[in-house]
A and B are shown apart, each in its own frame.
Chain A
């Protein structure tokens, strides 16, 4: 019995290890998180790999030890392994297994803190960032470009190589804005504006979705982020400005109704739409810093509102 058990465990370990190798190889485009396409996602992936390696440093020896112990000390006639039924205390061993995890957590803690602080700053300092205001609606995404004064629904275009500061809010339900290849997510909250820095290094189309449940149409809250060279982006914005219809107050009311939506493009929007949405959902009761992006006060000077 014990033999079968330990060989089962061996198999499991090898399957796990093989699985990890496949995951970490990153050659498969479907593993979005292992294909970072910008500095934010890259930093996060580094931390993911570091934490996985540090965990493996403990997990793998412990699994080996488990297999060894269960095999060696099983109760079968003639087992010559030592048997010390009263031995139950060892200061040295205790120090080792309190100490090693403390050291590992210490290392991981330092790197976690560093990364956490670095992510509230723009990914690169020498390029002027652009701002995009994001509103999650039931069940669609509205993107407003305060610099270009244009708006899109369910897709966003961004210039490659330029840091993008997303200002996130929600009209009604709380969602989460996630573009895995560019970086981790942030909640969209009614009555508040959150900030999220992302950047795409290369032109490309990136998958985005809502990550926090908002009811019936939640599964369909997907969008694409299209990164283009700056010149092409500018041209796209100009084109939109010329050809697309305007997003009027009435149209926004329609958009805010519960339901799904196709991709849409608008050449303009009511100027205070984003701020009004925040205020209407309770922003008027919030402290000013909550309306303007949480505790990320260092970036207030980039505010384009």
Chain B
């Protein structure tokens, strides 16, 4: 047991001890706060058991911002190590762990939950629904993500972090290459949250197809809704591939199989193909909703209808289909032969076409409009040049023989950060600023926001433009140190400075949020931006049941149309009778069952079979308990609706 305990806690690094202490202090602080202010009951009944999509969205948002912080700290640690040649700030092993967790966290535990936050907060409101199709499953998805992320992050202080790269290619990720629990944390952290992601994909697909307000045809849906629909379709086809791939890797590691080890007749190339069959669609999963956000914002702040609506919808569908036929471009250098490489080079370039078309459509939405420079619009305008250049370097990478020179170099690193930050993160931040008043009832401060915007943006270019140059100079990714001989030093130093600027930008945003909670401009109308879609027709924050009357939709840009022609919620004279509203009841099972998944995952990570079985048994019991629950819904009485509507200043 003594032997085991020695390997159990990560030791020997002052950075980790520092983290240990801060984790313990934070936990104690939270416990004391909850107990002193008697908030345990509130926490349980308002948050842990909630099935309200708006609250689930806020929990996703908070988690993803925390993960953005952690992934960002990882990034800064790496940049500090690389700022100068021959630095001894981090050891090789520590550096390898940090780039692995940075990549995994930023994609799976930052971008995905940030995206789900916006799905949850916006979609039901935007299509005029009172909740998602499966509210219980929605809570399940969140808690699976939460406990998966918790398990993954635990590896930092217990057992040791994974260190084989964010996609963990075998043979390095096999038992021989990565003994110890780190790689198991990776597998189970992602597996558990991955089930949640798949469920969310199904949930929102059904929500969008079945729960739209009466009258809203498919081709009248807001473009954000369309983008979520295409993203969900992609999730449903892509995530099972990830689950199977990681399950097979687990079988290799746990049962000693040889599915991906060449030495006994398996094939590591199979893993590389499978993981990218998920991995490539994954980047379209996260970027499509960002495209939807930009569409909403460009149209709103140009005070003009979106240009080429049909073309926009069509291009998103093409992207989500074509996204499945490009995965080999991640390993043109694996010797697949000229036929295969040519095919995938051309499909990859082809996916640039619908993406380019979208940029033209955004430009021509602004053309002959009236552009106001609000915060969401600023981020959108910053996105266009950034993503344009990132997309262009993507087309350059797609030319297979050119890729032989770029592959695994800093050129590639610069490219995908430019598309993922310039495309995805800018988009989600734009969405955050845009829908923040709808979530919380106040706007985020403009002045601090502009500081954040400019430090983020300048920081981005200072950080990543030198990395394109480093790629041309032959610097490969994942090296923890380098010498003076190659001339890489000045570029790396500049790049590190840029990374810190982005870090400062993030601090500005935290300050902006804290400041605005107290001083932010309150949104009393529910429609602070003069919006065009249904979420702006109800008060901010939206009442528990969203819509007292389900809106009757007659056209696209439906709220705009209602305001113009004075009907629906914008009509003065239409006072309808309220009817009781059917709502789902809260449930503690999603939280408890996900906690059991965590226990099971933890047991399997350390190969403590008894704990794994205990966790799995707990999952079984929760499933049984749920299947015998009959009393899962209720009606909000008319009185209560009237009281609520009166209290938020609506005509009753």
Contact = CB atoms under 8 A, between A and B. Distances in A.
B481 interface: yes
B482 interface: yes
A44 B404 contact: yes
A117 B338 contact: yes
A179 to B, nearest CB: 9
Nearest to B351: A105
Interface stretch (A81-89, A147-155, A235-243, A261-269): A81-89
A12 B461 CA distance: 9
A173 to B, nearest CB: 6
Given A109-B349, A119-B401, A174 B476 contact: no
A214 B331 CA distance: 16
Given A12-B385, A215-B177, A185 B373 contact: no
B392 A59 contact: yes
A51 B345 CA distance: 12
Contacts of A62: 359-360, 363, 388
Interface stretch (A128-136, A225-233, A244-252, A280-288): A280-288
Interface in B260-275: 261-266, 268-269
B367 A216 contact: no
Name, among B169, B405, B408, the residue most crowded by chain A CB atoms within 10 Å (CB to CB). B405
A190 interface: yes
A94 B307 CA distance: 10
Interface of B: 92-93, 96, 163-165, 169, 171-172, 176-177, 261-266, 268-269, 302-309, 311, 331, 333-339, 341-342, 345-346, 349-350, 352-353, 356-357, 359-361, 363-373, 378, 381, 384-385, 388-389, 392-393, 395-396, 398-405, 407-409, 461, 465, 469, 471-474, 476-482, 486-487
A39 interface: no
Contacts of A285: 262, 264-265
Contact of B262 (A2, A56, A111, A191): A191
Interface of A: 1-2, 5, 9, 12-13, 15-16, 19, 23, 30-34, 41, 43-45, 47-48, 51-52, 54-56, 58-59, 62-63, 65-66, 69-70, 73-75, 79, 81-90, 93-94, 97-98, 101-102, 105, 108-109, 111-113, 115-117, 119-120, 172-174, 176, 178, 180, 183-187, 189-192, 194-195, 207, 209-219, 280-283, 285-286, 293-296
A67 to B, nearest CB: 9
Contacts of A111: 399
B341 A88 contact: no
Contacts of A172: 171, 176-177
Contact of B399 (A15, A51, A73, A87): A51
Contact of B465 (A19, A66, A176, A281): A19
Contacts of A12: 385, 461
B481 A219 contact: yes
B62 to A, nearest CB: 31
Which 5 pairs of residues, A with B, have the shortest CB-CB distance?
A: A184-B404, A282-B262, A295-B337, A191-B262, A55-B392
Contacts of B96: 213, 215-216
Contacts of A184: 333, 401-405, 407
A32 B474 contact: yes
Contact of A33 (B339, B353, B370, B472): B472
B322 to A, nearest CB: 12
A21 to B, nearest CB: 12
Contact of A66 (B349, B363, B392): B363
B401 A32 contact: no
Contact of A58 (B265, B392, B479): B392
A151 B442 CA distance: 71
Contacts of A190: 171, 262-263, 268
B336 A295 contact: yes
A185 B407 contact: yes
B381 A191 contact: no
A35 B360 CA distance: 36
Nearest to A26: B472
Nearest to B386: A12
Given A213-B478, A216-B92, A296 B337 contact: yes
A173 B177 contact: yes
Contacts of A31: 469, 472-473
A19 to B, nearest CB: 7
A207 B474 contact: yes
Contacts of A191: 262-263
A219 B363 contact: no
Nearest to A186: B333
A211 B409 CA distance: 7
15 contacts: A43-B401, A47-B401, A63-B388, A66-B363, A85-B305, A89-B308, A97-B357, A113-B346, A119-B338, A178-B408, A186-B335, A213-B172, A282-B262, A285-B265, A295-B335
